[in-house]
Chain A
Amino acid sequence: MVADTPRSSDVQTRYEAVIGLEVHCQLLTHSKMFAADTNAFGGEPNTHVSVITLGHPGTLPKANRQAVEYAVRIGLAVGSEITRHNVFARKNYFYPDLPKGYQLSQDKGPICVGGTVPITAKDPVTGESYQTEIQLHHIHLEEDAGKSIHDGSDWTTQLDYNRAGTPLIEMVTEPCIRTADEAGQYLTEVRRLVRYLDICDGNMEEGSLRCDVNVSIRPVGATYLGTKVEVKNLNSIRNVMRAVDSEIQRQIDVTEAGGTLIQETRTFDASTGLSAGMREKETMNDYRYFPDPDLAPVVISDAWLADIEAAMPMLPSARLARFTDHYGLPAYDATLLTDAKELADYYEETCAALPTDKISPAAYKAVSNWIMGPVKGHLNEKTLRDRQFPVSASQLAALIGLVLNETVSQTAAQQVFTLMLTNLETSPADLAQQHGLIQNRNTDALQTLVESVLAEWPDKVEQYRKGKKNLLGMFVGEVMKKSKGSADPKLVNQLVVKTLQ
């Protein structure tokens, strides 16, 4: 057993890893893949079930049109060839979480064939970034199994079939990944893609996106494939990367010690960073796939394919182009804002809610500054996911509107923003009013303040008049203090200069 600690690099550079990823994504449909019971996550055990899900005799499954369309959506996004004649197959094995004794899946002719996912990864030795493409072997549609609970009772395994029948896509890469970083970048990109496509929530902790890795090693320059080991139970992108590194190291250590690797499935323990071999269920898996006679083939016509394509949500790359072209944002802003779909949506919703007379490239940039600054700052601080940000886009737009029409100063707006986080029901304008943050543009009132400040600092006034012009900032600051931050600093500046002339 090997912990995920770095080893001497001279041994490591003699080997290269060959890595393939299998990613399962639960599709965001309302009902299940082949039955109409709810696909909602969680729920009391065995309440999201139907006679079809439980595999009762005489029941007839029917495929969910939406799930088929979601699978085509991801295929189109990664440039797969879409299989037009689809057949579902029975994958036969006995395990208590599988009520029918088989899993409905696709065997020959997966719905999407080929495709690529472009990534930017870092070279583990030089640390330099490079661009590459991860090749997909295929994407197929299938159903999820139920959940076994082994520690709920002393003598039995408990079964909850709420998850049974949930629609899944399984995305299988070619064995073309070479490093843990490439694996992590690929997974990050897939998660971003499924979120942009609105087909999966990408939540690895809840298991709606799951990843198994296949790892083998070979001497650098060799073209054969070494013995493949599968590592399961990876519930975060970080753990996928740790598991890849730890497995590569384990295989190098075994090989260097003169041992032989066996083809096996190992399970990763996130607390130790170690993996352990799993007891094999059967000597050799023999799933005896055959076409399910109860499910009619799914034939995707040109017209249907065109409809699915027309309904595709905008992909990250198109979104990025829109942010630079339509909103005129710098590339830096656009990249940051489109990194997560929720944030990009929030940006666009805020722009759409701006007061119509204030719409301008400067306003679009102001929205960007607010989101990249205070909004993201708050999200990082509270480690909340973007979508859980409490302030609505229209509220943020209203606040930005107050700054744009000079009702509140930029500084006061920061205070209003903080107040908004805990006063979700009150409008930004009311909050500014209640807390005296409306910009004071009353020239008479401010002139009185300016004069009282100048009266307090006769020697400084003297020095200013003799040419120490940088004292201006101090006078303005004192006036701002007296106004408790409510004064419009530009106006105060003008008044001070005029009074001292």
Chain B
Amino acid sequence: MITTELLHKIAHLARLDVRPEEEASMLGSMNDVLTWMEQLNEVDTEGVEPLTHISPENNVLRDDVVMNQLPREQALVNAPQQDGQFFEVPKVLE
């Protein structure tokens, strides 16, 4: 059961602002999702390893070779704020 308190916590962890008038409908849909997922509890999973990936592929590995680097101008081009060398964000520490 998702409570208003839990909704605020989840919103904070995701850095989302939820307006008070949106809370009721959000609580409704989140609880609907949970109820829907609860149907899975009917399946007996005793002794079944948790499934982490749908694809049967394993060991999709890369050899240790340097390639595909970005030039700095290109790396910085979409940054909201940058100084030609660094990405810049509002000061984290005082």
**Is the contact region of chain B dominated by helix, strand, or loop, or is it mixed?**
loop
The stretch of A7-15, A125-133, A145-153, A193-201 in contact with B is A145-153
Q: Are B13 and A288 in contact (CB under 8 A)?
A: yes
Query: Is residue B47 within 8 Å, beta carbon to beta carbon, of the partner chain?
Result: no
Contact string against B for A residues 233-274, beta-carbon threshold 8 Å, 1 for contact and 0 otherwise: 000000000000000000000000000000000000000000
Q: Are B62 and A64 in contact (CB under 8 A)?
A: yes
Q: Are B68 and A157 in contact (CB under 8 A)?
A: no
Query: Is residue A51 within 8 Å, beta carbon to beta carbon, of the partner chain?
Result: yes
Contact string against A for B residues 63-94, beta-carbon threshold 8 Å, 1 for contact and 0 otherwise: 11111111010011000010101111111110
Q: Are A296 and B65 in contact (CB under 8 A)?
A: no
Q: What is the minimal beta-carbon distance from A149 to any residue of chain B, in angstroms?
A: 7
Q: Report Cα–Cα, A288/B89, bound state, in Å.
A: 25
Query: Is residue B59 within 8 Å, beta carbon to beta carbon, of the partner chain?
Result: yes
Q: Are A44 and B72 in contact (CB under 8 A)?
A: yes
Q: Which residues of A contact B52 (CB under 8 A)?
A: 87, 291, 297
Q: Report Cα–Cα, A288/B12, bound state, in Å.
A: 13
The stretch of A31-39, A320-328, A354-362 in contact with B is A31-39
Q: Report Cα–Cα, A68/B64, bound state, in Å.
A: 11
Q: Are A156 and B90 in contact (CB under 8 A)?
A: yes
Query: Is residue B58 within 8 Å, beta carbon to beta carbon, of the partner chain?
Result: yes
Q: Are B60 and A96 in contact (CB under 8 A)?
A: no
Query: Is residue A50 within 8 Å, beta carbon to beta carbon, of the partner chain?
Result: yes
Q: Are B58 and A298 in contact (CB under 8 A)?
A: yes
Closest B residue to A148 using CB positions: B92
Q: Report Cα–Cα, A296/B57, bound state, in Å.
A: 6
Q: What is the minimal beta-carbon distance from A85 to any residue of chain B, in angstroms?
A: 8
Given known pairs A157-B92, A158-B87, A296-B59, the reply for A36 and B75 (CB within 8 Å) is no
Q: Which residues of A contact B43 (CB under 8 A)?
A: none
Query: Is residue A49 within 8 Å, beta carbon to beta carbon, of the partner chain?
Result: yes
Contact string against A for B residues 31-73, beta-carbon threshold 8 Å, 1 for contact and 0 otherwise: 0000000000000000000001101011111111111111010
Query: Is residue A373 within 8 Å, beta carbon to beta carbon, of the partner chain?
Result: no
Query: Is residue A299 within 8 Å, beta carbon to beta carbon, of the partner chain?
Result: yes
Q: What is the minimal beta-carbon distance from B94 to any residue of chain A, in angstroms?
A: 9
Q: Report Cα–Cα, A50/B59, bound state, in Å.
A: 22
Contact of A286 among B13, B15, B58 (CB under 8 A): B13
Query: Is residue A48 within 8 Å, beta carbon to beta carbon, of the partner chain?
Result: yes
Q: Report Cα–Cα, A37/B70, bound state, in Å.
A: 8
Q: Are B89 and A157 in contact (CB under 8 A)?
A: yes
Q: Report Cα–Cα, A288/B60, bound state, in Å.
A: 25
Q: Are A46 and B87 in contact (CB under 8 A)?
A: yes
Closest B residue to A291 using CB positions: B52
Q: Are B93 and A45 in contact (CB under 8 A)?
A: no
Q: Report Cα–Cα, A51/B15, bound state, in Å.
A: 24
Q: What is the minimal beta-carbon distance from B62 to any residue of chain A, in angstroms?
A: 4
Q: Report Cα–Cα, A95/B15, bound state, in Å.
A: 11
Query: Is residue A293 within 8 Å, beta carbon to beta carbon, of the partner chain?
Result: yes
Number of B residues contacting the other chain (C-beta, 8 Å)?
34
Query: Is residue A216 within 8 Å, beta carbon to beta carbon, of the partner chain?
Result: no
Q: Report Cα–Cα, A466/B84, bound state, in Å.
A: 91
Q: Report Cα–Cα, A150/B66, bound state, in Å.
A: 30
Given known pairs A44-B85, A156-B89, A157-B91, the reply for A54 and B70 (CB within 8 Å) is yes
Closest A residue to B63 using CB positions: A65
Q: Report Cα–Cα, A335/B82, bound state, in Å.
A: 53
Q: Which residues of B contact A153 (CB under 8 A)?
A: 83, 88
Q: Which residues of B contact A159 (CB under 8 A)?
A: 86-89
Q: Are B53 and A45 in contact (CB under 8 A)?
A: no
Contact of B62 among A51, A63, A297 (CB under 8 A): A63
Contact of B65 among A30, A67, A157, A295 (CB under 8 A): A30
Contact of A297 among B53, B68, B88, B93 (CB under 8 A): B53
Q: Which of chain A's residues 293-352 have a Cβ closer than 8 Å to chain B?
A: 293, 295-299
Q: Which residues of A contact B86 (CB under 8 A)?
A: 45-46, 149, 152, 158-160
Q: Report Cα–Cα, A54/B76, bound state, in Å.
A: 10
Nearest first, the 9 A-B pairs at minimum CB distance are A158-B86, A66-B64, A291-B52, A156-B88, A296-B60, A159-B87, A65-B61, A62-B62, A299-B58
Please name 7 further chain A to chain B contacts, defined as beta carbons within 8 Å, in addition to the given A46-B76, A286-B9, sorted by A numbering: A31-B62, A50-B70, A51-B70, A64-B61, A87-B53, A96-B89, A153-B83
21 chain-A/chain-B pairs, Cβ below 8 angstroms: A37-B66, A39-B66, A44-B72, A46-B72, A49-B69, A49-B72, A51-B70, A64-B61, A65-B63, A66-B64, A67-B64, A87-B52, A92-B13, A95-B92, A150-B92, A155-B90, A156-B81, A159-B86, A286-B9, A296-B58, A297-B59
